[in-house]
């Protein structure tokens, strides 16, 4: 049985899919995860990327901290890309992933945003350049 954490809602806004983000919409779902907790994949696939969600920018302390944030991308058998943001990866590109595999530990967003934003794992799904509602895949 999959137990889903609650969706992030805090002073920075809602972590629901499609929530407003200024001139754009939120492309994923933000699930509350405490700093240091394991993040577990719920899909089978292969790790195809370990990336940085933000551009490398060291011009101030906040940007320097954001530079350390990472994400893991797992591509499933239908070539959908499942991305899990804000975690310290414990997997490598090319690793096969089974549902239930630990893929990393939650990074500390409060170090960047303070109490305004809860620690969370942002989960998004892409089909080519298009974002899909990730709730469909849980």
Distance in angstroms (rounded) separating the CA atoms of residues 31 and 18: 14
Residue 124 lies in a domain: yes
CATH number of domain containing 127: 2.70.70.10
User: In the structure encoding, which two tokens stand for residue 5, read together?
Assistant: 């954490």
Name the residue range of residue 32's domain: 9-137
Q: Please list the pLDDT of the chain residue by residue as tens digits (138 residues).
A: 355 677 887 667 788 999 988 898 999 999 999 999 999 999 999 999 999 998 776 676 767 778 889 999 999 999 999 999 999 999 999 999 999 999 999 999 988 888 888 899 999 999 999 999 999 988
CA torsion 97-99-100-103 (nearest 10°) is: 40
CA torsion 7-37-81-4 (nearest 10°) is: -40
Residue 4 lies in a domain: no
Residue 120 lies in a domain: yes
The confidence score (pLDDT) of residue 1 equals 39
- Total count of domains within the chain: 1
Distance in angstroms (rounded) separating the CA atoms of residues 121 and 82: 12
The confidence score (pLDDT) of residue 22 equals 84
């Amino acid at each position: 049985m999959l137990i889903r954490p609650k969706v992030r809602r805090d002073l920075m806004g809602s972590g629901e899919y499609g929530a407003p983000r200024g001139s754009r919409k939120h492309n994923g779902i933000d699930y509350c995860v405490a700093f240091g907790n394991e993040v577990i994949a719920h899909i089978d696939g292969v790790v195809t990327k370990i990336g940085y969600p933000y551009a490398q920018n060291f011009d101030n302390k906040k940007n320097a901290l954001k530079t350390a944030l990472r994400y893991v991308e797992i591509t499933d058998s239908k070539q959908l890309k499942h991305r899990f943001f804000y975690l310290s990866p414990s997997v490598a590109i090319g690793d096969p992933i089974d549902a239930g595999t630990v893929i990393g530990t939650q990074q500390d967003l409060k170090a960047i945003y303070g109490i305004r934003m809860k620690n969370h794992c942002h989960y998004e799904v892409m089909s080519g350049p298009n974002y899909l509602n990730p709730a469909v895949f849980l």
